[in-house]
Amino acid sequence: MCPLMNMKTHIQRQAECLLNRGKITGFNSYYCGMHDPDNENDKIKVITQKRNTRGAIGVNVSIKKHVRILKPHGSLDWYEVNGNVIRTQINIDARRLIITPGTSKFKAGYQQPFDYHRESANRNIKQAKAILIIGYGFNDEQLEVHLIKKLREGIPALIITKELTPNAVRICDGLNNVTLVSVGDNDDKTIVSINGIETDHDTKWWSLAEFIDGVLI
C-alpha cells in the first residue's frame, strides 16, 4: 500500500470512531427551539419491547450512538427572547448570545447558557476515548485544563485546521497520538503530520468539507 493510502486509512480509522449519526445540542429543535438540556437525552433513547423467561413483556431502554455538540462561547444563531434562550436559523431582532474576545470573555463564560456548555464540554472531554478538534487554536484556558491533560495521556486525537497556532504547535509537539492536518505552502496544499512525520499533499484537506470528500467518503 502506498504512503498516501496508509495515511488516509490512518485518518479514517480515527475519524470513524469520532463521527456518529445522531446529534444533540442542548436545544429541543433544529430550526427553532428552546435551550432545554435537561430533556435532550430523550432524543437519543431507543425503547424496545422484550419478553422475559416467563413470557411477560417489558421494555428495554438504550442510548443510540450520537454526537454531543457544545458551544461554550455561544453561537450566532442563539438569542435571548423574554428571558429565554432559543436557537433559530431566522435572523430576529433580539440579543445574540455569543461571547466575543475581550476582557469580559472569562466572566461571561460562567453565565448561562455558556456555563452549561462549558461544564458539559469539560465533562465529555474527561470521558472521551478519542477527540476530533476542528479549527481550534488552543487559546481557551477554561477548556484546555482537561483537553491538554487528555492529549498528554495518549488519547487518539485528530486536529484539522487551516493554520496551526504557536500554542497548538507547542502543546502537540512530541505527542504521537495526535494527527495534525493543516494548510501547506498555499491554500491548495495540505500538510499531514503523523507520529512526527510530515507529508505534503496536493489537496485542501485542511478544509473540513474537502476532508470529508477526500478522506471520509
Residue 122: inside a domain: no
With 0.75 as the threshold, say if the pTM is over it. no
Residue 4: inside a domain: yes
Do 56 and 95 share a domain, yes or no? yes
The answer to whether the CB of 86 falls within 8 A of the CB of 34 is: yes
Residue 120: inside a domain: no
Tens of pLDDT along 57-112?
Answer: 888 888 887 778 888 889 999 999 998 999 998 889 999 998 877 645 545 545 77
Do 163 and 89 share a domain, yes or no? no
Residue 143: inside a domain: yes
pLDDT attached to residue 16: 57
Which residue, 63, 79, 113, sits at the end of a domain? Answer: 113
What the block records as the C-alpha cell of 34 is 428552546
The range of the structural domain enclosing residue 88 comes to 23-113
Residue 34: inside a domain: yes
Do 185 and 135 share a domain, yes or no? yes
Residue 121: inside a domain: no
Tens of pLDDT along 121-158?
Answer: 889 889 888 888 888 888 877 778 889 999 999 999 99
Do 1 and 34 share a domain, yes or no? no
Do 45 and 106 share a domain, yes or no? yes
Residue 176: inside a domain: yes
Question: CB count, 10 Å around CB of 86?
Answer: 20
Which are the contacts of 115, defined by CB distance < 8 A and separation ≥ 6? 109
CA 161/CA 147 separation, integer angstroms: 17
Total structural domains within the chain: 2
The answer to whether the CB of 88 falls within 8 A of the CB of 75 is: no
21 pLDDT above the threshold of 80:
no
Q: C-alpha 179: how far from its chain's center?
A: 15
Which are the contacts of 10, defined by CB distance < 8 A and separation ≥ 6? 179, 194
Do 14 and 29 share a domain, yes or no? no
pLDDT attached to residue 3: 44
Query: Can you point out the beta strands (E) in 138-214?
Result: 157-160, 178-183, 190-194, 197-201
pLDDT attached to residue 181: 93
Question: CB count, 10 Å around CB of 177?
Answer: 17
